[in-house]
Chain A
Amino acid sequence: MKEAKTKSKNELLPGTLEMLILKTLSIESMHGYGIAQHLQMLSADVLTIEEGSLYPALQRMLVKGWVLAEWKISANNRRARFYTLTTAGKKQLGVEESRFSQMFGAIMRVMKTT
C-alpha cells in the first residue's frame, strides 16, 4: 500500500505519456529504450517512464496508426525496433499539445487564485 503512494507522486496525468512520446518521436525516430532515456533526461529525472506503461502505450499508438515500427541497427550496432511518427501521429501531436496547454493553463489559473 505504501509503495503505491510514493509511486503515484511521479505518475503522469492520464494521456500525457502518449503526448510526450509523440513529441519525442517528432524530433527523430527512436527505440523504446531511447524514448524512456530521452524523457528522463529532458525532465531532469523527474519523469521516470515505467516499462509497464511505455510498451503498452507504444502498442496502443501502433494500433491507432500514429507511429510505425521497424527494425533498424542502433547507434551501438544492435538490432533495435525504431518508432517513427506518421502523418496521423503528427496531427495527433498538435491536438494533444493544444489540449494540454488548455488544460495546463486552466490548472495554473486555478492554482494562482488564492
Chain B
Amino acid sequence: MGSVLRRLLFFFQRNQFDRDLEDELRFHEEMKAHALADADGISGDEARAAARRRIGNPLRLREQSREPWTFATVETFAQDVRHALRLMRRDPAFTFTALATLALGIGLNTAIFSVAYGVLWRPLPYPNPDRLVIVSSAQQTETGPRTFSTWAPVSYEALRPRVTTLDHLAAYTSIDAPLTGRGEPLQLRALDVSPNFFVTLGVNPARGRAFLTGAAAPDDDRSAIVSDRLWRTSLKADPAIVGQSITIDGLPRTVVGVLPPDFSFRPVIRMGALPEADIFLSNRWPGDTGRNAFLFLLGRMKPGVTQERAEAELTALVNDPSIAPAGALGLEGALAPNVRTLARAVGLQEYGTESVRTLLLILLGAVSFVLLIACVNVANLQMARLSARRGELSVRMALGAGRRRIVHQLLTEAVVLSLLGASLGVMLARIAIDVTLPLVPQFALPRLGGIVIDARVMAFCLGLSLVSTLLIGLVPALRVSGAAFGEGLALHAGEARTTGDRQGERLRTLLVAAQIAMTLVLLIGAGLLIHSFVRLTSVSPGFELSGRDGVVQTVKVTLPERLYDEPERIHAFARGVLDRIQYLPGVKSASLINSAPFGMMFIRGDFGIEGQPKPTLDAGKPKIDAGYFKTMGIPLLAGREFTARDTMAAPKVAIVSERIVREYFPGGPGEALGRRVRLGDRGEWLTVVGVVADIRQMGLDQEVQPMLYVPFQQERGEFFVLRFVSFVARTATPASVVEGIRAEIRRAAPDLPIESTVTMDEAVAASVAPPRFRMLLLVLFAMTATLIATCGIYGLMAYAVTQRRREIGVRMALGAEPRDVLRLVLTRALRIVVAGLIVGLAGAAGVTRVLQTFLFGVTPTDPIAFTIVTLLLMAVGLMAAWLPARRATRIDPCAALRAE
C-alpha cells in the first residue's frame, strides 16, 4: 500500500525527481572520473569521457531509474496509444478499411446480441422473475405426451386453493374487446385475468389499485385496469380516470387502476407473441362447465421451489380423484377417460421463445462468422503493413526495445483499432436496430420492448473488441517474435524484394483461405434460405390471388358475445350486410366466412361419414355463405356451391374438399355427392352437394387439410364460432370497396369495430414474412462477409504482386507474355480460393443442419444451393484477383529491374 502511495506522490514531483537523479548521476560521474584520473593518471576531460563511457547510455540509465516509480504499463500504454494513433493518421487508407471492417463486424454482432439478449435473456420487468412460470396442461397418450397450453376455469379453481408450491396462481386469456362511447369504436387487445393476476406478477398500478382478491369484493368483477398507452391515447390522459366508467364489450366497467408506463406483458401463444394488452378485465368465470379450456395459468413459485417440484405437485392435484373424477380437470379430459393429464411448468422467460431461440442463435452464429472474417482481414492488413514497417520496427529493436516491448506495441495498436471499431460498431448497431425493428414481422419476436443497447450490451461489445484485439494483434505479434524478424535491418536493406517474407506470406495465405471458407458457409446458408423461399412462394395457396377480376378483399369483425347471443341474430346481421355489399360498385362477387384462410383462426375437429368407420383425420370446419368459392377462385370439382336458398328451412348440406374425397371416397368426387357426413360424433347428418379443390388454410408450408364446408346460415349448434365474420369481396378497386363494406357494417351495427381489412394477397405475403425476413438477414450477413473476404483476396494478391515485382520483371524480360503473367497470378489466387472453398464446403455440410427447421422443400445439403453458391464465390474471388493480376501485366521489366 505504501509503495503505491509513494508512487502516486512521485507523479506530482516528477520534476524534482528528475533534478535529483540528474545531480546524483553527475556526482557519480565526477567521482568516477576522479578515481580514474587518480588511477590511470589521465587528464580531467579524458577521465570524464572514460567515466561516461563506462557508465553507458545515460538515457537508458535514467529511464530505468525512473521505471520503479511509474506505473510502467500505464505509461508505456499511453505512449503506445499515441504512437498507434499517429500511425493510423499517417495511413488513412488502412485505417479506413480496418475500421470499417471492424465496425461492420462488431456492429452486426452487437445488434443481433441486443435482440437475442432482449428476447431471450433479459430478466422480465417483474420482481423475482425467475419464480414466474406458465403452467401448461399436457396429456400422456399412447403415442407420447401432447402439450396443450390451456385449462378450463373449473380446473383452475380446483388447483388455485390447493397448490402449496406456488405463492400465487393466476389465470388469463386473451380476448378482443370493443371500447365504445369514446370516439370511434376501437377493438382493444384485452386480457381477461383472475383478480390475483397483478399480485402474481408483483406489479402495482401507477394510479389507483390492483384488483381486489378476496371473496369480499364481488363488485370488483365489473372493474378494469388500463395500460399507460391506452390511458394516454383513447382516455386522453384524464387525471381523474380512476373511478370512471367506460364501456367495454357493451358493458360498463369501472377503471380502478392505470399501469406504470414501463409495464409490459405480452401474452405468448403457440403461434407466437400477441401484441401487448391494453386493458385488463377482472374475471372469475362463474358457472363454467369445463367443456372449454381457454385459460393460461401463471404461477409464482415459492422461494426455493424448483419447476420439477411444482410440476409434480400440480400433476398430482390434477389427477387427485378426491378433487374431481379422473381426467375431468384436463383438456377434453372427460372425452378421453384413459388419458392421463400432466401439468408442465415452464419459466415465463422461456415460454414461447423456442422457435425464436433457434433463429436468434443461428443469427448470432452467422454474425460471429462475419466478425471472424473481419478480424482476419484486419490481421492480414496489419501483417502486410508490418512488412512495410519492418524498417521502423528493426530500428526500434536495434535501439534496445525488447521483443516484449514490440509485441506490446503491436497489441496496443490492435486495442486502439478494436476500441475505435467497437465505438463505430455500437453506433452502427443502434442505427441497424432502429431501422430494422419496425420491419420485423408481427408475432415473430416476443418482448420487443427488451431490445435496447444498455450496459450489458455494451459490455458484450467490449468483450467482442477484446476478442478482436487478440485476433488482430496476436497474429502479427507472433510473427515478430518469430526468428526471421531479427534480421529486419538486413532485409530492409533490399533483399526482401526478391524472396518476399515467405513465412508471413504463408500465414496470410492461410488466413485468406480461412476467410473464403467461412464466407462460403455463410453464403450457403443464405443460398439454402433463398432456395427454400423460392420453393415456398411457388406453392399455390389453392385459391386465386390477384387475377383478372381483381383481388379478394377481406373485412373482419368480431360480434360481441353479449349482444349476439343467438344464432338468428348473427345470421340476420351477416345476411343483411352481405346482401348490400354484393351490389356495391366495383364488387364482382362477395361472400363471407368465419375463418378466412391465412387468418389467425382455424377451427377444426373430428367428423363422421355415414356408413364408414370414424375417420382418423381431423377436418377444418369453415362456415361459409353462397358464392364463397366463386369469390375466392377455388375450383368446384363436382356438384354445386351453396346458394342463398340453403337456409335453416332447407335440407342440411355440406361441401367437402378434394382431400376428403381422396382419403375416403375412392370412386372420386362423383362418389362423394349425395353421401352424408356430420361434424363431430353426434351432429346432424349433412348431404354432400359439392366437392371443391384443396386450399392451404394456415400457410404455404403447411399440409393441405381436409375441409368440410357448411352453410353459415344453417349453423346453429356451435353458433359461437359464427361470431367471427370475414366478409370477402372480389374487386379491382379494393380501397373504395373497403370503405363501402365499412359503411354497410356501420349501418347494421354502429358500435362494431372493424378488426382488420386485408386482401388475400397481403395475408399470404404476411404469412411468408418471417421466412423472407430470415432470408434477407442471412443474405445481408453473407454479402457483408463476401465483401470483406473479397477485400482480403484483393489485398493479398495486390501485395504479392508488389512483392514479386522483380521476379515478374525478370520473367517478362525473358519473354513471358502478359497472358503468362496473368495466369501466374490468377493460378495462385485460384489455388487459395479453391482450398478455402473445399474447407468451406466440408464445414457447410456439417453446419447447415441447424437451418433444418427453417427450410421448406430443400434439404440442408441441397445440391443446387451448394453448387451455385460455390461457383459464385469462386467467380467473385477470381474477380478480386483480376485487378492485381492486370496490374502485374503492366509491370515494365526495365523499371522493375532498375529499382534495385
Contacts and interface: CB of A to CB of B under 8 A. Distances in A.
Interface in B3-34: 3, 6-7, 20-21, 23-25, 27-28, 30-32
Interface stretch (B58-66, B488-496, B659-667): B58-66
B24 A81 contact: yes
Interface in A95-112: none
Interface string A20-54: 00000000000111000100000000000011100
B183 interface: no
B27 A80 contact: yes
Interface string B48-79: 00000011110011001111110000000000
Contacts of B35: 37
B66 A59 contact: yes
A5 interface: no
Contacts of A64: 3
Contacts of A4: none
A60 B68 contact: yes
A35 to B, nearest CB: 10
B68 A56 contact: yes
B28 A32 contact: yes
A94 interface: no
Would you call the interface of chain B mostly helix, strand, loop, or mixed?
Answer: helix
A100 to B, nearest CB: 22
A9 interface: no
B60 A65 contact: no
B27 A56 contact: no
A55 B6 contact: no
B3 A52 contact: no
A2 interface: no
A71 B55 CA distance: 22
Nearest to A51: B55
Interface residues of B, number: 27
Nearest to B35: A37
Given A52-B56, A64-B3, A33 B32 contact: yes
Would you call the interface of chain A mostly helix, strand, loop, or mixed?
Answer: helix
B2 interface: yes
A52 B61 contact: yes
B23 to A, nearest CB: 7
B56 A79 contact: no
Contacts of A37: 35
B27 A33 contact: yes
Residue among B7, B25, B32, B68 with the highest chain A CB neighbour number at 10 A: B68
A55 B25 contact: yes
Given A56-B67, A65-B3, A51 B28 contact: yes
Contacts of B65: 55-56, 58-59
B786 to A, nearest CB: 51
Interface string B752-778: 000000000000000000000000000
A13 interface: no
B23 A33 contact: no
A79 B28 contact: no
Contacts of B68: 56, 59-60, 62-63
Nearest to B2: A65
Residue among B28, B35, B56, B60 with the highest chain A CB neighbour number at 10 A: B28
B64 A31 contact: no
Nearest to A78: B27
Contacts of B69: 59, 63
Given A31-B27, A65-B2, A81-B27, A55 B64 contact: yes
Contacts of A31: 24, 27
A63 B27 contact: no
Contacts of A55: 21, 24-25, 61, 64-65
Contacts of B7: 63
Nearest to B28: A33
Contacts of B27: 31-33, 74, 78-81
Contacts of A59: 65-69
A83 to B, nearest CB: 10
Contacts of A80: 24, 27
Nearest to B25: A55
Given A60-B68, A65-B2, A65-B3, A52 B60 contact: yes
15 contacts: A32-B24, A33-B27, A33-B31, A33-B32, A51-B25, A52-B57, A52-B60, A56-B64, A59-B65, A59-B67, A62-B6, A62-B68, A63-B68, A65-B2, A74-B27
Interface of B: 2-3, 6-7, 20-21, 23-25, 27-28, 30-32, 35, 54-57, 60-61, 64-69
Q: Give me the 7 closest cross-chain CB pairs, A-B, nearest first.
A: A60-B68, A56-B64, A33-B31, A59-B68, A55-B65, A81-B24, A51-B55
